[in-house]
Structure 1
Amino acid sequence: MQPFLDECRAVVGDAHVLTDPQAMAGFLTDWTGRWTGHAEAVIRPRTTDEVAAVMRICSSGDVDVCVQGGNTGLVGGSVPPSAAATGRPAVLLSTTRMTDIDDIDTVGRCVGVQAGATIDAIDTHAARSGLMFPIDLASRESATAGGVVATNAGGTRMIRHGNTRAQVLGIEAVLADGRLLRRWSSLVKDNVGYDVPGLLAGSEGTLAVITRVLFALASPPPATTVTVVAIDHVETALDLIGLLRSAGLTIEAAEIMTQAGVDLVHEHGQRRPVSTSAPFYALIEVSGVGEVESEMIDVLERADGIVDAVLEPGPARALWAARENHTEAISRSTTTPVVKLDVSFPLRALPEAFGELSAIEGLVGHPCRAILFGHVGDGNIHVNLLDVPPERTEEITARVFAVVAVNGGSISAEHGIGRAKTAWTHLGRSEVDRTTMRAIKTTLDPQGLLNPGVLFG
């Protein structure tokens, strides 16, 4: 590998080709701790041209490439496979140095960013021009532009603005052979051929290396009010969302938590959002043009099934903390790597799905605690299974996915397939569909160098 690595060093500089095991360790294990891979080196380019040059070297040397942004993924897609998985050497290409953010186009309401720019940095930059980045994640300070596009991330604002694909106006990417693909236009209407940026969104690094993205921006809501309501049934949250919409209010976010989740977060120092315990808690943020708080109070007084409620003007960070601290509290409380399953259901099936998923911990013959939370407005549940013995991971994953299949849901709502879910893609895609996707992969990456083992297994 030495001649290969020397060529890469000539492109990105000696300091940015890491081969020391200690320096590489943080790149080779994912955020959950479940997935650890092997790479000959971690390569950190600074520009698109450097990425293109590295990809040409990898293509010539038949070297696999795993692309990584903030390494906040939850399905093993951002770390390379084990050394023996493909029989070829592999490198990890990190976008951590690619953090440039262009000036805001305030007329076209868009901004160009490099793949390594974080969600928080993009939003902060947009705010200086009176705009906002429509994508928001709990991992906003480390999740990157390239990563959220590659996984087509959703997040808490999806109910209002749509997923990442809906925010992508243009894209710059390097193909597996080093050629540059650039579709870069802020035109609202540009209907020439296939939607290539839309294709790369959700491709999980298997088709090209995303280096820059042209994102649409949005106007922030004039004022918001946040409520957390304690409720006995999931149906109450869905009914409440409908009542708020009927009252002319705009739903900016709609989340759901369970008593087990709120209790766990409280055990780790977060105050409870309301004083009354209940099986479920819905967090809903709304905006409007009138007296938003009084309108929300009126709706809450008319709604059925609410045990307790609290309201605060947005952004209401203390209320949001009860939801956003779930992931950290879960990670600190489990004795084994958390089995994280991101699934979605038709809204009509959501109440039954919650019941079936909550019951799983009592149906398996091994330690297991289920903590459920998610985006109630779009049917997305984050299933977190704690204390599961590693050898039982596939068994309990299959149980969860059986609930998904019976209720007409999806095994991946917003986190992607990665390496974790490849065995179950048939539950959501027909044979013809999967064959079509493989044909696209083979056409753009005939050597199979990009993220081998991700999405297709």
Structure 2
Amino acid sequence: MTAPAATALAPGLTEELRAAVGEAHLLTDPSIVASYETDWTGRFHGRASCVVRPADTAQVAAVMTAAARAKATVCVQGGNTGLVGGSIPVDGAVLLSTARLTVLEPVEVAAGQVTAGAGVTLAALQRHVRAAGYDFGVDFAARDSATLGGMAATNAGGERVLRYGTTRAQILGIEAVLADGSVISRLAGLPKDNTGYDVASLLAGSEGTLGIITRLRLRLAPLLTERAVALVAVDGIAGALTLLQTARNRLPTLEAAELFLADGLALVREKTGLPAPFAAEHPAYLVLECAGRTDPTDDLLAALDACDADVLLDATVATDTRGRHTLWAYRESHTEAINAAGVPVKLDVAVPLTALGELVAALPTTIAEAAPQARLILFGHINEGNLHVNILNATDRAEAVTDAVLHLVAAHRGSISAEHGVGRAKSRWLHLSRSPQEIAMMRAIRQGLDPDALLNPRVLLDAPPPTDRGPAGANSA
């Protein structure tokens, strides 16, 4: 089924938008607009009436003032690396791209802080702050495309949550444009400021439903140049958890603990050509990374030596840059390999660590009952009980698979979204992770800030699930 045609802009709105961002940055050519209408997985699709590319907060405010006057809905898109349909335009909305919000102010060395635009990519931020002797506490494989505004809006996590926390924990200040075009700006970066509600924390994780983030004041981490990475084979989830406990207790330098399984390794090797990491195959694998000001290799080796031989089946350690990148490739190539194999149904969930083994054991049967031809690939951030559930050969059964998996997660006291957000894809299952009272509170906050529901319609709240298409279909989000 073909997606419906975009709704025409209200009379006069085109001219106001052009005046706000300039002729070159109001995009109306359907062939150009189309490049903004599909997410990077190829699963979610929508329609925009136009694309606007503001250069700064003032231009974002002018766009929202015009849109509010015309009662036009606005969808926000950063790097478009989201996985829940939250950055795809719907119903002919105005698509506001943050790609030009790329200001990077000098690092304030004494404070260990920096102010950055919402359109700055994670990789660009890393290069900028590392040149000043600092680092940023969040990292993940999509660093070259993911933007800071999107990371804040979804409270992205990634590989370093174990040590530094999620994106919200890195935010000391925020600037944002509300639905009526008014601007909220708190960029002083005060670590202590108890003057009422924490606006930055409220907007972080709100998925663009409360305001459009334009600039962020970020906490920086020390630049730790001495690193060691271990790829460890274990006997399964129980062994992985035992090893994790040992590593946490013995390694204050531990920065990342990443999990993947035999099926995922086989797919990665098939699609990337990477060699087998060990002579024998094993049920599960962990990537552990330690970072410090002095070489952490000896401590890492000692922690591995402390593990029982029936838990730790094999291991290899790298300290040089090339070797570390090679070991990380077995984990970070999962997303690339999965997308090369087909369009997946991707679900990002978390459960208490005490329930992780039960969840992993139950997932194959649960998914097979909903989609008999499905192929399951699991990986994730084990310290947080965060699994990325990737299901191939199931796009025609996406709703049934999603329903089955999310109910299984809820039965294990888990969250339907650990770090990717709820978006449009999972909004109908929000009640599995939030109480009626919490949802009512969220609705009241949104109603107070955006009474006409102009920002990111059908994201997070009040959203029927998006229709999605596999390789053969074409539905709108």
Is TM more than 0.5 here? yes
Q: 1:352 aligns with which of 329, 351, 358?
A: 358
Q: 1:240 aligns with which of 240, 243, 246?
A: 243
For residue 393 of structure 1, what is the aligned residue in structure 2? 398
- Matching residue's letter, 1:377: N
- Please show how residues 376-455 of structure 1 align to structure 2 within 5 Å: 376-390=382-396, 392-455=397-460
For residue 284 of structure 2, what is the aligned residue in structure 1? 280
Classify the secondary structure of the residue corresponding to 1:350.
helix
For residue 70 of structure 1, what is the aligned residue in structure 2? 79
Of the structure 1 ranges 243-252 and 432-441, higher mean CA displacement relative to structure 2 is found in 243-252
Of the structure 1 ranges 362-371 and 221-230, higher mean CA displacement relative to structure 2 is found in 362-371
For residue 470 of structure 2, what is the aligned residue in structure 1? none
Classify the secondary structure of the residue corresponding to 2:74.
strand
User: Is the 1:71–1:143 contact (alpha carbons within 8 Å) kept by the matching residues of 2?
Assistant: yes
Deviation sequence 1:198-222 (CA, Å, 0-9, x none): 0000000000011000011000224
For residue 325 of structure 2, what is the aligned residue in structure 1? 317
Deviation sequence 1:377-409 (CA, Å, 0-9, x none): 11100000001142x111111111122011111
For residue 8 of structure 1, what is the aligned residue in structure 2? 17
2:105 and 2:39 map into 1 onto residues whose CA distance is 30
For residue 64 of structure 2, what is the aligned residue in structure 1? 55
2:200 and 2:282 map into 1 onto residues whose CA distance is 44
2:213 is equivalent to residue 207 of structure 1 = no
For residue 86 of structure 1, what is the aligned residue in structure 2? none
1:389 and 1:49 map into 2 onto residues whose CA distance is 41
Q: What runs of 5+ residues in structure 2 fail to find an aligned partner? A: 1-8, 464-477
Q: Which runs of 4+ in 1 moved over 2 A?
A: 244-250, 270-276, 287-292, 358-366
User: Is the 2:377–2:390 contact (alpha carbons within 8 Å) kept by the matching residues of 1?
Assistant: yes
Q: 1:270 aligns with which of 242, 251, 274?
A: 274
Displacement of 1:363 in angstroms is 3.0
Of the structure 1 ranges 187-196 and 294-303, higher mean CA displacement relative to structure 2 is found in 294-303
Q: 1:224 aligns with which of 227, 234, 238?
A: 227
Q: What runs of 5+ residues in structure 1 fail to find an aligned partner? A: 84-88
2:31 is equivalent to residue 25 of structure 1 = no
2:299 is equivalent to residue 295 of structure 1 = yes
Displacement of 1:135 in angstroms is 1.0
2:251 and 2:331 map into 1 onto residues whose CA distance is 26
Q: 1:96 aligns with which of 96, 99, 102?
A: 99
User: Is the 1:40–1:90 contact (alpha carbons within 8 Å) kept by the matching residues of 2?
Assistant: yes
Per the normalisation by structure 1, the TM-score is 0.95
Of the structure 1 ranges 355-364 and 376-385, higher mean CA displacement relative to structure 2 is found in 355-364
Q: 1:328 aligns with which of 302, 314, 336?
A: 336
2:377 is equivalent to residue 371 of structure 1 = yes
Displacement of 1:104 in angstroms is 0.2
1:203 and 1:253 map into 2 onto residues whose CA distance is 26
Displacement of 1:76 in angstroms is 0.1
User: Is the 2:73–2:457 contact (alpha carbons within 8 Å) kept by the matching residues of 1?
Assistant: yes
Deviation sequence 1:103-141 (CA, Å, 0-9, x none): 000111010011100000001000001100111121100
2:148 is equivalent to residue 145 of structure 1 = yes
- Matching residue's letter, 2:138: I
Per the normalisation by structure 2, the TM-score is 0.91
The 1:355/1:242 distance shift into structure 2, 3 A limit, reads: same
Number of positions where the alignment pairs a residue of Structure 1 with one of Structure 2 = 448
For residue 128 of structure 1, what is the aligned residue in structure 2? 131
Aligned CA-pair RMSD: 1.4
